Structures are given as C-alpha cells and as structure tokens.
Homo-oligomer: A and B are copies of this chain.
Amino acid sequence: MTSGPPTLDDVAREARVSRSTASRAINGADRVSPEAQAAVEAAVARLGFTPNRAARSLVTRRTDSIALVVPEPDTLMLTDPFLTGVLRGVTDGIAGTDLQLVLLLSRTGEAPGRIARYLGSGHVDGAIIASAHERDQLEAALTRSHLPAVFVGRPFGDASGHHYVDVDNVAGSRLATQRLVDRGCRHIGTVTGPQDMSAGIDRLRGWRETLRAAELPTDAIAHSDFTGTGGATAAAALLDQHPDIDGIFAASDLLAEGVLRTLRSRGRRVPEDVAVVGFDDLGVAQHTTPRLTTVHNPVVATTKAATAALLGLLSGAPIPAAPQIFPPYLVEGESA
C-alpha cells in the first residue's frame, strides 16, 4: 500500500515470474522466453518501474554516472562560450545511455585536491576533464586511481598516459597568422592566452612558426588571460611598443574583441590600418564590429568525441591510445 516506488519484486509479482526472470528480462539477457519477456515489459510499463540505481550500483559495482570537470570562469563571460560548447558536447555524447552527468565546477581559490579526491572515491565510473588549466594534482590523482578519463584539450605537462581530444591549436594559429601575412601585413603582433594552458602555448607557437617561415619579425608579443579586458590592455601595450603594427593575431575571440575596442579608441581602422584575426568562433566573432575573421574551434565536436572515447573505455573497448586531433578552419569576417 504505502510502498513507495515499485520494486523489481512488484514487477515480478505482476508479471507472474520470479524476480530473477524479471531482472533478466529488464537487462536484456538472452535466456528469457518471449512470453516472460512480454509479461515483464507489460508489468514494467503498467507499474512505471524504474530500477533503483543505488541497489543496482551496489551489486554491479558501477555507478552509471560520469563526472564532467570544468573550470570556473574567471569572470562571467570569460570562458562561457567554451563552457556551453562542452556542456552540449557531453550531453549529446551520453544521449541514449542511462549515464548520469555529475558536474564538478573547479573553484579557483579552493582547497586543491577536492576534485581529485572526489574522482578517486569511486563515486563515478569515469570523467571528462575540460579543465584547461594546469592541475598536477588532478592528473596525478587520475593516473593513480586508474579512473577512466578523457581530457578535452591536451593536458598541460606530460600528456602521455592520458587520453585526450583536441583541436589542432598550432595549425589553427598558423592559419590565422598566414591570413595576415597573405593580406600583406609586415609587422604582425599577437595577444597570447595564458601560458599555463596548452591552448595558450600552442597558439603562440603557430604564430611564431608562421612568421619565421615568412621571415617577418616575431617581437610583438603581449601576454594576457583569456578575457576581453585583458585583450584590450594587451593591445594597448602592443601599440605603444610597436606603433607600426599592421596585424594582430589574438589567441581567442574574447581577446580579439578587446583588441578591436582598443584599436577603435585609438582611431586605427580595421582592417585597413590593422588587421585582426581571432580564434574560437564560438559566437563572439559574429557580434563584433567589424565582424571578426577567426579560426573555428569545434568544441562541441571535440567534446562529443571525448565523451565517445570515455564510453569506449567504460565498455572495455580496445583503447586507441593516440589522441584525436580535430582540424580547425578559417572563418571569413571583415577584420582581416
């Protein structure tokens, strides 16, 4: 009467079979007669039965849930587009499974190791790590605990031993920089992202390589975090030190947006006086004035791939140890 949610026993009784048979029918085992199968299915539908996850976990020793670790945005608006893409990618990736997605937002000033401890405690079957920043503890804890995990974005430091999916950041920044070279820019600067993230490092590298190949100067570098404000400040520094700059590669669209603001306030026309190319194409680029030329970063696709890889690991599939690297491509705008 006051029974709460229906249990497997209720289903079995309703279907006039034993609990084991009901269990087998529900979990798609093969040794079940068609009649029994049908009876169980009918009973399940009639009762609205849903397996109790806790009970199931207890015996299967799986939690049927995975963790998604994401960095807390430094400022609202900062990593937002990235965050949104990641969320969508993972959600898409687990659609159709009965996996629960447990969200772990890594707080900036928090006691280090909270997340590592959580991941090591057996509360989840695996993890997607979209945390771009350096996190020695996390990576170490991950290898120690043998928790199946896939990174979105090459892990900082030694990537060997970790599965990851990434966009080819070096190729992307080459694309961006080459565009500036091709349109005739002779002194091309860059506003970099944080150098404790692989994306920040790689995007600087592509810029440098392209300019070297073109035998152009590589002296105009301004470091920044991935914020619009940071980009504006960095661009100002760049213009002060190198007034003759005629092109800027910004390591993200958010940065580029700040760069455009500075250029406008200084009366430099874009792209006539200074051409600008960004990176990411996650929505910001379409809303700038002028519309930003940028490099598309397929975040949803990479995250989806990472999730698929994790599902593979969980199902014990043969593991392709090699990272999956997605190609970026240039998106036409008006800024270059």
* A residues adjacent to B (C-beta < 8 A): 4-5, 50, 52-55, 57-58, 61, 63, 65, 68, 72-73, 75-78, 80-81, 83-85, 87-88, 91, 95, 100-105, 107, 121-123, 228-229, 257-258, 261, 264, 282-284, 286-287, 289
Select A122's contact among B52, B76, B104, B107, beta carbons within 8 Å.
Answer: B52
Closest Cβ of chain B to A201, distance in Å, is 25
Are the C-beta atoms of B101 and A102 separated by less than 8 Å? Answer: yes
Are the C-beta atoms of A228 and B287 separated by less than 8 Å? Answer: yes
Can you report 22 A-B residue pairs in the complex whose CB atoms are below 8 A from each other?
A50-B123, A53-B57, A53-B123, A54-B54, A54-B58, A54-B63, A55-B58, A58-B58, A72-B91, A76-B81, A76-B85, A77-B84, A87-B105, A88-B105, A100-B102, A101-B102, A101-B103, A101-B104, A229-B286, A258-B287, A261-B289, A264-B289
Q: How far is it, in angstroms, between the C-alpha of A286 and the C-alpha of B77 when the chains are bound?
A: 10
Are the C-beta atoms of A283 and B77 separated by less than 8 Å? Answer: yes
Select A81's contact among B80, B258, B264, beta carbons within 8 Å.
Answer: B80
Give the secondary structure class of A's interface: mixed
Q: How many copies does the complex hold?
A: 2
Are the C-beta atoms of B54 and A53 separated by less than 8 Å? Answer: yes
Instruction: For A229, give the chain B residue with the smallest CB separation.
Output: B286
Select A50's contact among B57, B85, B122, B261, beta carbons within 8 Å.
Answer: B122
Q: How far is it, in angstroms, between the C-alpha of A10 and the C-alpha of B105 when the chains are bound?
A: 32
Q: How far is it, in angstroms, between the C-alpha of A107 and the C-alpha of B57 when the chains are bound?
A: 27
Q: Within 8 Å CB of A103, what residues of B?
A: 68, 87, 91, 101-103
Q: How far is it, in angstroms, between the C-alpha of A83 and the C-alpha of B81 when the chains are bound?
A: 10
Are the C-beta atoms of B289 and A289 separated by less than 8 Å? Answer: yes
Closest Cβ of chain B to A53, distance in Å, is 6
Q: Within 8 Å CB of A122, what residues of B?
A: 5, 50, 52
Are the C-beta atoms of B73 and A100 separated by less than 8 Å? Answer: no
